[in-house]
Structure 1
Amino acid sequence: MIQFHEASHTYTLDGVDLPSVTHICRFLAYDYKSDEPWLAEAAARRGTAVHEACALIDYGEEPEESAQIAGYLNAYRRFLKDYRPDWELIEHPMGTLELGYAGTLDRYGTLYDGRTCILDIKTGQLYSAALRAQLTAYQALLPPRYHCTHLYALKLSADGTYQLREVPADRALLDACLFLNNATERKKRT
């Protein structure tokens, strides 16, 4: 069974440490090695709070809403009303030794018109390359019994609006990230 270690943002499967999808795709992140890391930390805390609250909404509960995340939650509720998703997996950790990485899928399910999808919730900017690699990585981890026809990024904004963007799969970009990650990790060990 996959285990997530929040402090190191790593996963363990059968006693083997696996890097996260986020870690593998870090080379494509806009703020990778930023000179203002506190901004990335604040955005990460906000994103975590929004993700947790959206999961509660999906489970039929009412989350505690601070002023900092209320607009994002209003945007999520609008998305739910517009697309009426039937989620099968919510904040679902998964990983394989074969692929050598793990991650937590935000959502997998079916939209009102029958599209099956992986959906990743974002509260910041949508960076195309990073999204392609990240969502392709989740699609590769998805167990075979789940059929996925679409990959989406859902950007929630503080003003209560949202943007749903379809993201094309990009296995070559994911493979490049995996190559860079593995090379970097090998270099650290020598």
Structure 2
Amino acid sequence: MIQFDEKSHTYTLDGVELPSVTHICRFLAYDYKSDKPWLAETAARRGTAVHEACALIDYGETPEETPEIAGYLKAYRRFLKDYRPDWELIEHPMGNLEFGYAGTLDRYGTLYDGRSCILDIKTGQLHGPSLRAQLTAYQELMPPWHSTPDYLYALKLSKDGTYELTEVRYDLELLKICLFMNQAVERKNHA
């Protein structure tokens, strides 16, 4: 069973530490080598707070709504009202030794019209290549007892209370490139 250590943000499966999907896809990230790392840290903290609050909403609880995240939660509630999802997996850690990576899937389930999907919640800019690799990685990690999703989506929540649901294309070749680059960097670092 996959173990996730929140403090160190590491995944372990059968005693083997696995890199995260985010780490593997870092080469495609917009702010990979940012000259303003404090902005990325602020965005990451906000994203984490929004993810945690959205999970509480999905579990029927009432999250603490700070002014910093209130608009994002309003946007998420609008999405829930419009699409009425039936989530089967919420913030679900997954990993595979054969694939050599792990990650936490935001959402997997069915929308009101019967579309099954993997959905990733975003609070910042959407970057196509990074999203394609990330959501493809999650689809590849899906447990075999769940059907392959019909769609991959990024749900961008905005501070002003609006949202944007964007379909993301499955891109196994791009994921393989990220895995290759990650392995090459790891070999270089351990040489």
Note whether the superposition's TM-score is higher than 0.5: yes
> CA shift at 1:33, angstroms?
1.2
Q: Which shows bigger deviation, 8-17 or 36-45?
A: 8-17
Distance 1:8 1:19 in 2: 12
**Matches for 1:35-74 after TM superposition, within 5 Å:** 35-74=35-74
SS of match in other structure, 1:146: coil
> CA shift at 1:171, angstroms?
0.2
Distance 1:38 1:181 in 2: 24
Corresponding residue for 1:101? 101
> CA shift at 1:107, angstroms?
0.2
Corresponding residue for 1:188? 189
Q: Please list the CA deviations of residues 131-185 of structure 1 after superposition, one character each: whole Å capped at 9, or x if unmatched.
A: 0000000000001221211000000000000000000100000000000000000
Q: Please list the CA deviations of residues 75-129 of structure 1 after superposition, one character each: whole Å capped at 9, or x if unmatched.
A: 0000000000000000000001011000000000000000000000000000000
Corresponding residue for 1:84? 84
SS of match in other structure, 1:109: strand
**Matches for 1:5-154 after TM superposition, within 5 Å:** 5-147=5-147, 148-154=149-155
1:177 partner letter: C
Count of matched residue positions in the alignment of Structure 1 and Structure 2 = 190
Corresponding residue for 2:172? 171
CA-atom RMSD in angstroms: 0.6
Q: Please list the CA deviations of residues 54-74 of structure 1 after superposition, one character each: whole Å capped at 9, or x if unmatched.
A: 000000001000000000000
Q: Which shows bigger deviation, 36-45 or 138-147?
A: 138-147
Distance 1:86 1:156 in 2: 19
SS of match in other structure, 2:125: coil
TM-score normalized with structure 1 length: 0.99
2:170 partner letter: A
Distance 1:19 1:116 in 2: 27
Structure 2 unpaired stretches of 5+: none
SS of match in other structure, 1:3: strand
Structure 1 unpaired stretches of 5+: none
Distance 1:146 1:15 in 2: 25
Residue identity over aligned pairs, in percent, reads: 79
> CA shift at 1:5, angstroms?
1.9
Distance 2:119 2:2 in 1: 21
1:9 partner letter: H
Distance 1:73 1:8 in 2: 27
SS of match in other structure, 1:160: coil
> CA shift at 1:10, angstroms?
1.8
Distance 2:41 2:5 in 1: 18
